[in-house]
Structure 1
Amino acid sequence: MNTNLLHSKVWRRIRSAIGCSLALAVATSFTGCSTLTQPINGIPAHRLSPDFFPPPKNDLVPVDIALLSLEPPRDYQLGPDDILGVYIEGVLPFNPPNAPPSPPPVNFPDENSTLPPSIGYPIAVQDDGTLALPLIAPLKVVGLTLEQVREKIRQSYIENDILREEKARPIVTLIKERTFDVIVVREDSGGRSEGGEGLRGPDRTATGGLVKLPAYKNDVLHALVETGGLPGLNAKNEIMVLRASEADKRKRADFLRKYWAQQRIAMTDPCYCPPELPDDPSILRIPLRVRPGVIPNIDEADITLQDGDIVYIENRETEVYYTGGLLPGGEHILPRDYDLDVIAAMALAGRGIGESTSSGGVGVSAVGGVPPGMLYILRRTPCDGQIAIEVDLARAVNDPRSRPLVQPGDTLILQYKCEEEILNFGIGTFFTYGIQQLLRNNN
């Protein structure tokens, strides 16, 4: 009798275990456990090699903008295309003998000019750097100051016996400085802010145009000030300068020609891994933010702009990340000047830590359920590869090493763990059917 009782208890336990297993399997199938139906083979974030985590940018400091500006000389030095006001009594203008001298004309500067009013007849410095005046040979004036030019004119007329020493009192003023025509192209005026919307779209427009910069103001900073100031948040943290000289144009063309020729040869190998396009050595890139203690190597020749040079502010349209799974799907712009970890990225996408969804089971959204606890980061790697980084959100809240920074091109997929879906299904089933059954039994 005792033996039969023992066998009966054993069979009851076996049936109970089988029933629990079947119930668990049925619950898993009803909830559509994404861990089983849509598995993602990820590597836990805290076990990943540091090579997959670029250095943070929170500690970057702005570059001193004074490095982008030329320091003007104490006295203006002349060059081709400067327009001088010259008055030489008895010569310019010519006066007949015994006639009273004519007064010099007065010239007022343009509205936007910083020059004071000047006097004298306008004479331009020629392309060869000379100044052509009546009765004497052209004078070389490039690199001279106004006072030096005045003295040179005086000595020349005295040495040529045109004016006596006491009558040689020329007046030399600056009517208009020489200017440099620079092209500025800006892609940072699209009107989108660092919010949840992506950068791509009709708002990406380029502005700018031709800017005339006076001598000693023909630098990168003045070109930016004339077209709206420093690059905005929609632009990359750098300024590109493309030189207009034929040598630089040929250098850029040769660089691209050689690069693509190498690519065509290498692509015949089936195991070929295409590298990223390297930086064009003929294009000057000026950073706007650097690591603490780093002084950018920017010299005067780098920031000096000549006729036809192009200042280019590039849009950072590729600095976005994507969301999916239980996160609202979309494309989101990454901040330019500070880092964004996965928790902040989820909040920016509209889903915070601890927020449950209505997809966990019947009735879960009404009574609250277990929130999703697994986030996967799909990150691109060289050679068109991909790595899946697994982020346990419960661990990420307490351990910063398990909270990786989001990088451009990342895709964030939020999922329930299998046990979370089962719990949510059980909670929803109980509150939907269990309470009804209790009320029915009480009646």
Structure 2
Amino acid sequence: MAADTLLPGNYLPSACPGIVVVHKSHPRIHGVLPVPEEEDVEAEFQWDPQSKVFTVVNATCYPCYTYLTFLGTDVRDRRGRQFEAGTTRSESGEEQPATTFVVVAAPLTAVRLGFVEVGPPADFFGIPLERLVEPGPPASGLPSLLPGPQEVPGFCFPLPASDGPYLCTQGVGGHLTHFFPESYYAIDLRCRNGTPVLSIADGIVKEVAESHKCGGIHAANLAAWNSVTVILDCGFIVDYLHTLPGSARFKAGDVVRQGQVLCESGDIGFAPEPHLHIELHDSNDADGPSLPLSFGHGRCAFVPVAGRWYSPDGEASPPPGTESVGLHEDLQLEPPPQRDFRDSRRSKTGRRTVRFGSFALKRKWTLARQSADCKPSSTRSSGDSAASEHTLQACPAEASGGECGREGLVCDGDAVRKSRPHSSGFFPGGSP
């Protein structure tokens, strides 16, 4: 790759099989439609039983984002081709195919994602639309203890030279998981499971979380990562994510030195492949916006960019036999059609709306709809049972990570049937 070439979105599509990143649009989806301001939209996630197209509707006046996973069902693009499926792994180690959409919807737009045959054995998981906040200035929130200009210093590279070089699969502002303030300046580096993770500076271990074993592309895994967190002597806090369970060499309160092995990298949480995710914060605002992170010092400092290889000394040549990184085929197609949202909702049989469960995302998202109860909302008839609209409300037990033994509703063709008890944010049931 040429030195001046950047991958669109600063992420590597080949590193996230089964994930479709839709930032306002995508050439393979069914279309992006305007939503009139006067339109009364009651559900963010909609499925039309006639067209069988699944739609994310942002009826607000600000951009929003969501993560949505389809399990046990094909999702097809506007040309009838199946979107690539990836893999998700449960805490018990069970693997199954999945397709996940990362959607950023512009204000007052309906994003028509794909053709879905809703019904058994399909499972769905959706994170309610969250307002997308633009990252603040890079220097905001820097600790006052830093001498001279308020700039973040360069740090030791977090992976050993002996196992490198390492491919950066997502950089600053990456469209996969780095596009909101909390992780905007994070860096993802591809590395095999078990690669030693090194402390980038001297500090004290704040927290070790290594109880999870799940992995893959399920959106629920966004709340189930393993990590080691260190408060650095220079006034910052650094998070190392996706680490292997039981691999931590230190416990909270231990002193660590630059270059010491903290733990081992892995593929735990929302991890399409094994990699290390590292991000920096102000130690006085650990849950706030991330801060710029660079490795090396002075003129040798560098910030990894998606699609390029790195060692502790900076950008490096790819290993022999490594395929060149090119644009994803999805980026070569013509843009999706633009139509009117009201036209897309016209149906002889009416439309059926489904709202999926919510999940509390550790640090990144607030607990959604705590006051919603588990019962489906009232069914409103439009003269025919097939034209009735049904909404599945979020369950507070699910949102807190527990289980709910009550029944929900699931759309099955033109019928609405009861599902088995649901848990962990699914309609119908199933654990991520």
Q: TM-score range by the shorter chain?
A: under 0.3
Q: Going by fraction, where is strand more abundant, 1 or 2?
A: 2
Instruction: Normalising by structure 1, report the TM-score.
Output: 0.20
Larger Rg: 1
